[in-house]
Structure 1
Amino acid sequence: MCTVKNSARLAGCLLCALTLTALAVAPADAAPAHLTVATYNIHAGAGEDGGYDLDRTAGAIRALGADVIGLEEVDVHWGERSDFADEARDLAAKLGMRVFFAPIYDLDPPTAGAPRQQFGVAVLSRFPVVDKENHEITRLSTQTTDPVPALAPGFAEVVVNVRGTFVHFYCTHLDYRPDPAVRARQVEDMLGVLGQDRGPKILVGDFNAEAGAPELGPLWTALRDAAPGGPASYPAAAPVSRIDLVTVSPGVRVLATCTAETLASDHRPVVADVVVR
């Protein structure tokens, strides 16, 4: 079930779509492209009950009906909590979608010959991906004992060809700590990346801050919140914070938004039905 803004547009409990342009710009006379986009922190496949079930995660994603979706907290051979699975590829296979995985952490395996342990964000797309990049933004590592803010990967960008319209789609996972200093630097870094790209842009993710937080303020000079005043998304069972956001550039028109009521993660997914010219 979804909590929907403009429910006439979003039947049942889902609907959304994505589009963005990176290196190429669609012709001026290109027809508007309609798509559904989403963001979902999948909690490494663990539900609100703490149980790991990637089939349940895939079912929750499938129910969104999204054309392009950004996933946060994705494990790739990370550890026992996710059965050492390659969640990015496994979810893509279960859903019949293309995938780009952008690791934040890329660690040596625990035993020789085993796959590398990775954790990060991913983008799933029903449309062809014509370009992709794992950008660096400032991070405060959770994998070292005395971390200092430094550039690190995990800010995903894909360029998607939506019936001839090229769209830049970005997925992010910002710092979770109460101190907003690192998030403020991450916003500055992301704006630097977005500023290099022409055409329509869609940025989604777990921002670990409400849209009105001061550190997110600079974002709104280039983007806008797709669901201002929308329902909270975290924690999933009884949400009180709207920290999972879909944001769009001025050339993207938002028709409707939806926050899905599912306990397949500790976050609820957010979906947006958009039109991109």
Structure 2
Amino acid sequence: MYRRTLSVIATVVALAATGSAAQASAAAGASRPGPRVLDVMSFNIHHAQGTDDALDVRRIARVVRESGADVVGLQEVDNHYSARSEWADQSAELAEALGYHVVFGANIDNAPPAGSGHRVQYGTAILSRYPITASDNTWLFKSPDQEQRGLLHATIDVHGRKVEFYNTHLSASSGTDRLQQSAQVVDLIGAKKPGILVGDFNALPTAPESQPLQKAYTDAWARSPHPRGDGATHPSEAPTARIDVIYTTRGVTPLVTRVVGSDPAASDHLPLLSKVLVGP
């Protein structure tokens, strides 16, 4: 096991060196940058309310910072949503605390309350150490009695290479909705461009509603050469369910994937982190 770990690390270092050489060549006029190594994360933050009931956005920022994540897909993010999160713009606060770029996708989007100039919003966000050059949020299928969910997409410029990053949070209470939503996600992303999809899928990878994703993409945890535990992320303090997943498309290779357990009280989910290779 130790030798395999060293092999993975050696591969990452070698490929990173190759990427640096290719980057220098691109600067000299080459048409294409080399591969990139990224640490990507999925984190359901439960509007920054921890299992201890403390509302603490900076605690979420600390978990992200200490993990070393370059790009993070956040679920259950409030934007001037209600008193439960002190009417804060949580994605903006996290971006400021980390010094990251950010985009927010509103899946609940209601008119401002009386006396306020801010819309009442709830959804997902993407934080990135690297510049975000484009973004969009697409609402997914929902039954009349279900909460609106979406697919948030950001194009990220990683030293000259464009990386497509997607973040979603599927229905919590309807397997029928999740099945349609996962198929829609596959249709929206496709498989032509190198991309990374993260999210809280509210279903085990073996569930019927997960199969469109499992067939189309690579499950980073299942590909990990030396996984620790079973990859479960929920509930955070005694996880039993692997419902937070990182997927990669063709052109992106997961190298090492782990559950981040540095602060189980920060949210009701643990973050999932994967080191991936984008390229060549």
Tell whether the structures are fold-level matches, with TM greater than 0.5. yes
Equivalent residue number for residue 68 of structure 1: 71
- Unpaired segments of 5 or more residues in structure 1? 1-5, 11-25, 141-146
Q: Distance in 2 between matches of 1:119 and 1:113?
A: 16
Q: Distance in 1 between matches of 2:269 and 2:196?
A: 20
1:257 maps onto 2:257 in alignment = yes
1:219 maps onto 2:217 in alignment = no
Corresponding residue SS for 1:35: strand
Corresponding residue SS for 1:227: helix
1:183 and 1:215 in contact (8 A); partners too: yes
Matching residue's letter, 1:160 = I
Equivalent residue number for residue 243 of structure 2: 243
Q: Kindly tell me the number of residue pairs found equivalent between the two proteins.
A: 248
1:102 and 1:153 in contact (8 A); partners too: no
Q: What is the CA-CA distance between 1:57 and the residue it aligns to?
A: 1.3
Corresponding residue SS for 1:139: coil
Equivalent residue number for residue 177 of structure 2: 182
Q: Distance in 1 between matches of 2:156 and 2:142?
A: 27
Q: What is the CA-CA distance between 1:168 and the residue it aligns to?
A: 0.8
1:134 and 1:153 in contact (8 A); partners too: no
TM-score of the superposed pair, with normalisation by structure 2: 0.83
Which has the higher relative contact order, 1 or 2, with Cα contacts under 8 A spaced 6 or more apart?
1
Q: 1:29 to 1:123 in 2, by over 3 A?
A: same
Q: What is the CA-CA distance between 1:148 and the residue it aligns to?
A: 4.4
Equivalent positions of 1:106-255 (< 5 A) are 106-140=109-143, 147-148=144-145, 154-177=150-173, 179-195=174-190, 198-228=192-222, 230-255=230-255
Q: What is the CA-CA distance between 1:251 and the residue it aligns to?
A: 1.4
Structure of larger gyration radius: 2
4+ residue stretches of structure 1 with deviation over 4 A? 6-10, 26-29
Q: Distance in 1 between matches of 2:32 and 2:54?
A: 50
1:205 and 1:244 in contact (8 A); partners too: yes
2:149 and 2:169 in contact (8 A); partners too: no
Q: 1:46 to 1:7 in 2, by over 3 A?
A: farther
Q: Distance in 1 between matches of 2:73 and 2:46?
A: 13
1:274 maps onto 2:273 in alignment = no
More strand by share: 1
Matching residue's letter, 2:153 = E
Q: Distance in 1 between matches of 2:149 and 2:105?
A: 7
Q: 1:7 to 1:86 in 2, by over 3 A?
A: farther
Which range moves more in the overlay, 48-57 or 89-98?
A: 48-57
TM-score of the superposed pair, with normalisation by structure 1: 0.84
Q: What is the CA-CA distance between 1:7 and the residue it aligns to?
A: 6.1
1:138 and 1:149 in contact (8 A); partners too: no
Q: 1:275 to 1:169 in 2, by over 3 A?
A: same
Q: Distance in 2 between matches of 1:170 and 1:85?
A: 24
